[in-house]
Amino acid sequence: MRSIKLILAYDGTAYAGFQRQPNGVTVQQRLEEALRAVTGEPDLRIASAAGRTDAGVHARGQVVHVRTGATIPVDRWPAALNSRLPEDIAVVGAEAVPPDFHARYWAREKRYRYTFHVSPYPAPLIRHFAYHWHRPLDLAAMRRAADLLVGRHDFAAFRASGGSAKTSVRTVTRLSLTPQGTLLFLDVAADGFLYNMVRIIAGTLLEVGAGRRTIAQVAQALKTGDRRLAGRTLPPHGLCLEEVVYGDGPARPAWWADDADAADDAE
């Protein structure tokens, strides 16, 4: 048996999220079908995935790992799998990893991007990949609010109900807003995420930019953990899991009792 790390890109539009579930086709299901065909191992399942992206959320850099007895050279995996995958899912990297590698537990940082399309008019070519906002935004105010959220904080106010994480303390290492033509990219990097955390941060910053929420309210939300002081959850189609950063071992030592990452939530 050996361990293979796979990097995945997918258009989440047609899927009920990444993770297998009884109702609806998922990315994991399609990936495992392809893995079984390629390895000839009829019961193969992925051993873990770095992020559990929600229905409609995309990825350019999702990471999974599999344990397999198949002897196909690792550089042949992408083409072999891509020939079996539907065109809205692709393997864009494969690497042999140590037997104890774990796509979720070894992840040190995940990077998500939420894309806004800011224009009076809709843009049909990017309608599945950017959230359309038709009014002007105060970018400076959005950046001031974003700066409040960087660092180690309790993000209880930026968490949808239904998540399973034990603690809502996370470390946001980057939160930047970058305009490019009519697009505005919100890039968020953290050691872990709570249920819908990026989409709630995106909604909060949007409301600040639109003058519907004050920076003081955002500070208060962070301080009190009151979900009502944060903004609404924006729709999934603007969100993309861009990259997962790994070190050469588990992100946290095994004796770490409060295993926040072990129960990391869907985005």
Residues belonging to the binding site for substrate are: 112
The radius of gyration of the chain from alpha carbons, rounded to an integer in Å, stands at 19
Of 64 and 89, nearer to a second copy (C-beta) is 89
Map tokens 């009829």 to a residue: 42
CB of residue 94 to a second copy, shortest distance in Å? 10
Nearer to a second copy, 132 or 213 (CB): 132
In angstroms, rounded to a whole number, what is the distance separating the alpha carbons of residues 98 and 251?
15
Phi, psi of 136 (to 5 degrees): -65, 155
Whichever of 78 and 209 has its CB closer to a second copy, that residue is 78
Under the rule (CB under 8 A), what is the footprint of a second copy? 9-11, 58, 60, 78, 82, 87-93, 119-125, 127, 129, 240
Say if residue 121 is exposed, middle or buried (CB neighbours under 10 Å; 0-12, 13-18, 19+).
exposed
CB of 202 to a second copy, least distance (A): 18
Which among 11, 54, 261, 265 is annotated as catalytic? 54
**Can you say whether the dihedral through the CA atoms of 32, 33, 39, 45 is positive or negative?**
positive
State the binding site. 112
Minimum distance of a second copy from residue 30's CB (angstroms):
11
For residue 220, CA distances in Å to 148, 155, 195, 223 come to: 10, 12, 20, 5
Tell me whether residue 54 is one of the annotated catalytic residues: yes
Residues labelled as active-site residues: 54
